[in-house]
Amino acid sequence: MERKKADEVWELRLYVAGQTPKSITAFANLKKICEEHLAGKYRIEVIDLLENPQLAKGDQILAIPTLVRKLPPPLKKIIGDLSNEERVLVGLNLRPASC
Amino acid sequence: MAPKKSSLKEPLVLEKAQTGIQGLDEVTMGGLPRGRTTLVCGGPGSGKTLLGMEFLVRGAVHYDEPGVFVCFEETINELLQNAAGLGFDLNELWQSKRIFIDHILIERSEIEETGEYDLEGLFIRLDQAIKSVGAKRIVLDTIESLFSGLSNFSILRAELRRLFRWLKEKGMTAVITGEKGADGLTRHGLEEYVSDCVIVLDHRVANQITTRRMRVLKYRGGMHGTNEYPFIIGSSGIEILPITSLGLQHSVSDERISSGIPSLDVMMGGKGYYRGSTILVSGTAGTGKTSIASKFADAACRRGKRCAFFAFEESAHQILRNMQSIGMHLQPWVEKGLLKFYTQRPTEYGLEYHLITMHRIVDEFRPDAVIMDPIGNLGDVGIIPDVKAMLTRLVDYLKSKSITSFLTSLTPPGASLERTEIGISSLADTWLVLRDMEKEGERNREIYVLKSRGMAHSNQIRELLLSDRGLELLGVKVELEGVRTGSAKASQEIADSRITDKNE
């Protein structure tokens, strides 16, 4: 039985390193994009690597900020402050690249 | 930071981190610059990863400095396997928290870049790694991978600059590796950020033989040899031949040592060779070069000295047997450990291998004399100028240790006798030439002293006789009270009617 796409909850993780302007911008941008395209079916987890440095390894985080689309698969990583909405949508596979 | 009072008398001492890598600490005069970054660049397979790994492993094992190895391209398993092949148990070092290995994976396909970012995540990761073992050393192999994974090069460059400053603040002695670029030392110009030390590794295959060279291109604040140093990757890691061509500074000895052939000693001022000098015996095939070399070995061992005999053409067994037939018994010296044969066909390995092996043997066995018979064969494996350069360095090294070196060289048929295959006659202090002469249907051997620096020597050409009684130069008077040659000999002949006529 195929799960309807509408039921999928997106698990998104935003990796930051403390409250920096880039991180604040990224979070704000992310919220905006999620409300617009994934209303009601997303969950954002913010991971501050300054508080939990050991978590950088698991998702192989090098750049800050990094947004990781954990669910639904495939895993995607988007780095930067997410100010380029188009690229974020492409990166999240919410919009095909050709558009 | 409070400014230091500067004093013109105080030299800036750059501290060095010993590498423990065979020959590298000599070349860098102490090791890599401590608390700074060294760039090691070269083509694929040139040994960069190995150098980094050895630096780390030996740092942990010999110098009590824990380290972090960050690999970007190899997997951890590959790294462990390669290390194990050289006798490094990385697993054990990992368990005992002396080494930490981190694998940073950058999947370009996974990454989308959407605005401003920095590489703080990398810094946090490295910081974690360093803290986990209290690392003093770190290797990043190869940080250029960042350029393959991320496309904003200006951010990358800025962050790399920041990274090297950060490593320096932490007092880390770092080695970063870089792949050789088309122009410039590395593909992405890492050398622009690393101004403290740059090592270039070169790796070529010619005639199916691998040739490796290392060069210290830059070493800020410290002296270093500016030459190219040959090296090999041996069974326990990198081995560099550390001798430079700075030579010509060694003190010379006045002491004379016998050639083992009294009548030959007569030709050299009555006393023989200078200790610590370089003797060359050249001649066409079968003229007795190995015999003269062996007699020299015999004489040295007789005096209780150690002799290393590098034979590139015959086996030890052959030489012992042949010498036996001319009344020379070398076996007892072998048994006493005074005479050691090292036989290896040059064509099996590259020139560096032979020279490095000889160097190591000289260090371990500490001979007083070294024989190389014949050096011409080394020309088979190297390009002639290369061979000459390396032989020069080796001979220089021997001289600096007051080790007498004895080289034989085969004169090719038809060539002038006073020509050596590699052109190393200038290296020799004493040069004996052997030749064949046909006389009345017989083939006789003749010998003469072409040159012998620092001593009066005979200009006579003498017949060399090899018999079961040994070697003898005919027509040379050897007497107990003294020796006479040339015109003095003639006077002696007239005066002394009891002289045995050896010419029959």
Distances (CA, A) of B329 to B291, B298, B404: 12, 8, 21
Identity of the residue in B110, B113, B120 whose CB atom sits nearest the CB atom of A64: B120
Closest-CA residue of chain A to B127: A53
Contact assignment for A62 to B116 by CB distance below 8 Å: no
Contact assignment for A77 to B116 by CB distance below 8 Å: no
What are φ and ψ of residue A32, in 5° steps? -60, -45
Q: Is A79 on the interface with B (CB under 8 A)?
A: yes
Q: pLDDT category, B205, cuts 50, 70, 90?
A: confident
pTM: 0.72
pLDDT at B297 over 70: yes
Mutation pick from B101, B111, B120 vs chain A, by most beta carbons of A within 10 Å, is B120
Q: Is A72 on the interface with B (CB under 8 A)?
A: no
pLDDT of B224: 62
Q: How far is A44 from chain B (nearest CA, A)?
A: 18
Pick the more confident residue, B257 or B222. B257
Q: pLDDT category, B386, cuts 50, 70, 90?
A: confident
Q: What is the 3-state secondary structure (H, E, C) of B129-175?
A: HHHHHCCCEEEEECCCHHHHHCCCHHHHHHHHHHHHHHHHHCCCEEE
Which CATH superfamily hosts domain A6-91? Glutaredoxin (3.40.30.10)
Pick the more confident residue, A22 or B8. A22
Mean pLDDT over the full length of chain B: 83
Ordered by start, the domain boundaries in chain B are 16-240, 256-495
Say if domain B16-240 classifies as CATH 3.30.565.10: no
Cβ-based contacts under 8 A for chains A and B: 94
ipTM for the complex?
A: 0.88
Pick the more confident residue, B138 or B313. B138
| Helix (H) / strand (E) containing A71 | strand A66-71
Pick the more confident residue, B344 or B250. B344
Q: Which parts of B43-93 are beta strand (E)?
A: 67-71
Share of chain B above pLDDT 90, in %: 39
Ordered by start, the domain boundaries in chain A are 6-91
Distances (CA, A) of B280 to B35, B93, B209, B243, B414: 48, 50, 28, 21, 20
Structural fold of domain B256-495: Rossmann fold (3.40.50)
Q: What average pLDDT score do residues B301-319 get?
A: 93
Contact assignment for B119 to A61 by CB distance below 8 Å: no
Q: pLDDT category, B190, cuts 50, 70, 90?
A: confident
Q: Is B112 on the interface with A (CB under 8 A)?
A: yes
Task: Give chain A positions within 8 Å (CB) of B110.
Answer: 75-77
Q: What average pLDDT score do residues B373-395 get?
A: 76
